[in-house]
Amino acid sequence: MISFICPSIRPKYWKFISKEIHDDDFQYEIIFIGPKKSYADSLPPNCKFIKTFVKPSQCFQIGALNSKYDLICLLSDDISFSKKNILQQINKNKKLINSKKLLSLKLKSYGVKTWVPEKEYNYMQLPVAPIIEKKLFFEVGGIDKGFLATFYDLDLYLRILSKGYQIKYLDIIIEERERNIIEPSLYNRNSNFDKKYFQRLWFRKGKFNLKRVKKVKKFKEKNLINFTQPPYGKWKNNGDLINNLKYNYVYFFLDKILRLEFSFVYNIYLKTKHLMIVKYLAKMFKEIRSS
């Protein structure tokens, strides 16, 4: 029925994800794509792992190409599900896909609901981990290789909405797990680069418009698993030895110390970002960084 695609650097959560999704009554698979193989051998038969050191946006393209079902869904590896009947909900509503409904999950990020209308996007509601027909994924161009690690999924979903699809939220809430002090944050490290590219595609004179400016930069399928396609970000093609050294917790910890980047500060911000004083301080800090 469905292939869940999960670019991942946190294998410690794979068993939780597979257990929360599992249902004997439905066909499904979970594809984990990333640099760390830990626990892969102990996963259930309908879960598989593809080892690669390429950037996260490219991982999703790899997962889509290697998926076996007609429906696909992009997940992140730091989420948990509040209910256990996920596949039942999807199966009950999948006929709506034929009527141009984009079946979306709901995300709580540190307690904050993210399925409310967004001012930045002209008060549109935005989908989270929607259920997509695989043929539609490729029809709209797949993942744009101009992204590194963030915003590539939203870019994909907006291309689908621009074709006349409407969001239908399922009664499935996923919650973002709180990161520990060592775990890296793709958003912190890559969102400035990715958001600038995203805004060039979807914004006119600072205002959002549901009409993409440029064509999709498509990935080439040749050597897709072995080599990152530009732009590279930190995912340069350095060879397996260097890449393996970069994906261990000692490296992550030293890297965070050198950058003064600690998750507990980010966690505090996520929990209080709705407060006016926090919004003001965040805006002031952003202006200082860009000056």
Stretch 76-95: mean pLDDT: 91
User: Is it the case that residue 7 has pLDDT exceeding 70?
Assistant: yes
Residue 183's pLDDT is 66
Residue 36's pLDDT band (cuts 50, 70, 90): confident
Average pLDDT of the residues in 11-34: 94
SS3 track for the chain: CEEEEEECCCHHHHHHHHHHHCCCCCCEEEEEEECCCCCHHHCCCCEEEEECCCCHHHHHHHHHHHCCCCEEEECCCCEEECCCCHHHHHHHHHHHHHHCEEEEEEEEECCEECCCCEHHHCCECCCEEEEEEHHHHHHCCCCCCCCCCCCHHHHHHHHHHCCCCEEEEEEEEEEECCCCCCCCCHHHHHHHHHHHHHHHHHEECCEECCCCCCCCCCCCCCCCCCCCCCCCCCCCCCCHHHHHHHCCHHHHHHHHHHHCCCHHHHHHHHHHCCCHHHHHHHHHHHHHHHC
Of the given ranges (29-43, 48-62, 89-103, 224-238), which has the lowest mean pLDDT?
A: 29-43
Confidence of residue 184 (pLDDT cuts 50, 70, 90): low
Domain ranges for the chain, please list them. Answer: 2-208
Query: What pLDDT does residue 67 have?
Result: 98
pLDDT confidence bin for 80, thresholds 50/70/90: very high
| Arithmetic mean of pLDDT over the chain | 86
Determine the average pLDDT of the residues in 57-81: 96
Say if residue 290's pLDDT is above 70: no
- Highest mean pLDDT, choosing among 32-41, 91-100, 115-124, 170-179: 91-100
Q: Does domain 2-208 match CATH 3.90.550.10? A: yes
Confidence band for 133, pLDDT divided at 50, 70 and 90: very high
- Condensed to tens digits (0 to 9), the pLDDT of residues 243-272 reads 776 666 565 556 555 555 555 555 566 667
**Quick one: what percent of the chain has pLDDT higher than 90?**
63
pLDDT for the residue numbered 115: 80
| Mean pLDDT within 228-249 | 79
Least confidently predicted of 126-135, 173-182, 261-270: 261-270
Structure tokens at 219: 């990935």
pLDDT of residue 265: 57
CA-based nearest residue to 186, from 151, 160, 237, 161 = 151
Residue 286 CB partners (closer than 8 Å, separation 6+): none
Residue at 12: amino acid letter: K
Confidence of residue 221 (pLDDT cuts 50, 70, 90): very high
Question: How confident is the model over 139-169, as pLDDT tens digits?
Answer: 999 999 999 999 999 999 999 999 999 999 9
Q: Rounded mean pLDDT of 5-13?
A: 92
pLDDT at position 198: 97
pLDDT more than 70, % of the chain: 82
Residue 46 has pLDDT above 90, yes or no: yes
